[in-house]
Amino acid sequence: MGRRLKQLLASQFSPEELQLLVGGYDLVGDIAIVIIPESLDVKEREIAEAILADNNRIRVVAKRSAHYSGEFRTLPVKIIAGENRLETEVIEFGIRLRLNIEQVYFSIRSGGERRRIASLVRSGENVLVLFSGIAPYPLMISRYSRAGEIVAVEKNPIAHHYAEINVKLNKRENSIKLIHGDVEDIVPAFSRRFDRLVMVYPKGGEQFLYTALGALKPGGTLHFYDMQHLDSLELSLEKVRNVCKKRGQSLLDFSFTLCGHCAPRTHRICVDCRIK
């Protein structure tokens, strides 16, 4: 999308303005989300109209007005063209996901990673997904594996509401149990343990690792997400290893999966490991 946007605006922008223009935009359902540098704010309408004219699927253009922030890692945006709404629906590997782009955390770029996790789930496994948001991981696992029980925990009430909608949209009420609440309160109350644990928290998930590992069976599999530099992947592994030591547990094996570029030299990674 990046080159295309610069090409579309080449006749309207000076070379200096094109240099400032951020490479591309994210398409979430029928909403385009674009980053516009402050120095180009006066050109936001031209940018938005170029996007609308180039893709007739797009009904709303919104610009990011800040970074992901707050307890729920939400993204403040401002509508700059098109319809006056922030709710949309995404189709991901045949799964319908309804959401409000400003009120919930959702990464459009993580669809392939969600599909990867689903492909690893073995028949009959009971799976726990923490920080499950609008339920993309539970729905992907339900559709593309033969998992046993799938339990999803989410604290954000709005995200939990959309998760309920999405489970119904995809007719998965019988295979997914949604729980609204804080991981620190919910997980210790479980009366059973799970074969596979997916921790989807995009940043800072290590603070919940001690509690979360209490829900994993001995020999079970953990998928722990972290933000890390490529030359420091071992630091993410150490976060898991240190908590295991505190719990009297140990790593049986591990691997790293790169899940996307987040910032200069920083990637979202997944530590896939089995824990004794």
pLDDT one-digit tens code per residue, 165-175 = 999 999 999 99
DSSP 12: T
Q: How far is CA 253 from the centre of its chain?
A: 25
Q: Which domain holds residue 117?
A: 106-275
81 lies in the same domain as 110: no
CA distance 152 to 146: 16
**132 CB-contact burial (10 Å; exposed 0-12 / middle 13-18 / buried 19+):** buried
Nearest in space to 107 (alpha carbons), one of 276, 267, 239: 267
Query: What is the pLDDT, as a whole number, of residue 2?
Result: 45
Same domain, 198 and 131: yes
Residues 44 and 131 in one domain: no
Place of tokens 């200069």: 264
117 and 182 inside one domain: yes
Whether 101 is covered by a domain: the verdict is no
Query: pLDDT tens for residues 249-260?
Result: 999 999 999 988
User: Is 227 found in the same domain as 121?
Assistant: yes
Q: Dmax of the chain from CA atoms?
A: 64
96 lies in a domain?
no
Q: Which two tokens stand for residue 61?
A: 């253009």
The domain that holds 269 is classified in CATH as: 3.40.50.150
Q: Percentage of residues in the chain with pLDDT exceeding 70?
A: 97
With respect to residue 100, please indicate whether it lies within any of the assigned structural domains: no
Higher-scoring residue by pLDDT: 247, 203: 247
Question: Count of domains in the chain?
Answer: 2
One domain, residues 137 and 269: yes
Domain at 57, CATH number = 3.30.300.110
Contact 241, 210 (CB under 8 A): no
Give the side-chain half-sphere CA count within 13 A for 258: 11
Q: DSSP for 130-187, please give it.
A: ES-TTSHHHHHHHHHS--S-EEEEE--HHHHHHHHHHHHHTT-TTTEEEEES-HHHHG
